């Protein structure tokens, strides 16, 4: 019987995005969360070979050029929702403006190498040009990511 990894707990977007590269010894991880708008529970087994199935969407609130202004706020507002309707409900309730929406496949591609090496001594985050190149490579676009539309 496989045991849950101890990192799994009160999770949102984090493990869908970061689990495979950060947990190198795990073939897959169970990620569970609730929609911030309607509280519907969601769970996925996230592996390295294919994106998790589902019609849910990820919403990133903070544009990348502002991400490091308050990284805690940035990370707290990268959330998984049932649908764009739930995103709109949450935005109206919180008074926020829409950021960037992506499907689970795009999120999974984005996660693939974004934090590779993050837990290694001496890790240095990507410089803006390298980050922009990575964003484009995984299918992100638009001014939110510092890229053309």
Q: Which H, E and C letters describe 81-124, residue by residue? A: ECCHHHHHHHHHHHCCCCCEEEEHHHHHHHHHHHCCCCCCCCCC
pLDDT for residue 117:
80
Tell which residue, 102, 135, 113, 138, has the closest CA to residue 13.
102
In this predicted model, what pLDDT tens digit does every residue of 84-98 receive, in sequence order? 999 999 999 999 999
Token pair in block for residue 34: 């609730």
Q: Average pLDDT of 33-45?
A: 95
Q: What are the residue ranges of helices labelled H in the chain?
A: 14-22, 71-76, 84-94, 104-114, 128-137
Cα separation, 129 vs 93, whole angstroms: 35
Query: pLDDT tens digit string along 6-23?
Result: 343 333 444 444 555 556
User: What pTM did the predictor assign?
Assistant: 0.82
Residue with tokens 């950060």: 22
Q: pLDDT tens digit string along 93-137?
A: 999 999 999 999 999 899 888 878 877 899 888 888 999 999 999
Res 47: pLDDT: 84
Question: Token digits for 116?
Answer: 């590779």
């Amino acid at each position: 019987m496989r045991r849950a990894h101890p990192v799994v707990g009160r999770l949102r977007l984090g493990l869908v995005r970061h689990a495979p590269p950060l947990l190198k010894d795990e073939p897959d991880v169970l990620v569970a969360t609730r929609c911030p708008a309607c509280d519907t529970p969601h769970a996925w087994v996230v592996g390295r070979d294919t994106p998790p199935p589902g019609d849910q969407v990820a919403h990133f609130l903070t544009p990348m050029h502002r991400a490091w202004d308050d990284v805690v706020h940035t990370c707290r507002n990268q959330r998984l929702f049932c649908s764009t309707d739930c995103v709109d409900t949450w935005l109206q309730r919180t008074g926020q403006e829409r950021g960037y929406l992506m499907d689970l496949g795009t999120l999974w591609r984005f996660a693939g190498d974004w934090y590779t090496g993050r837990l290694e001594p001496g890790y240095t985050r990507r410089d803006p040009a390298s980050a922009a190149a990575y964003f484009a490579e995984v299918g992100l676009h638009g001014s939110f990511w510092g890229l053309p539309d």
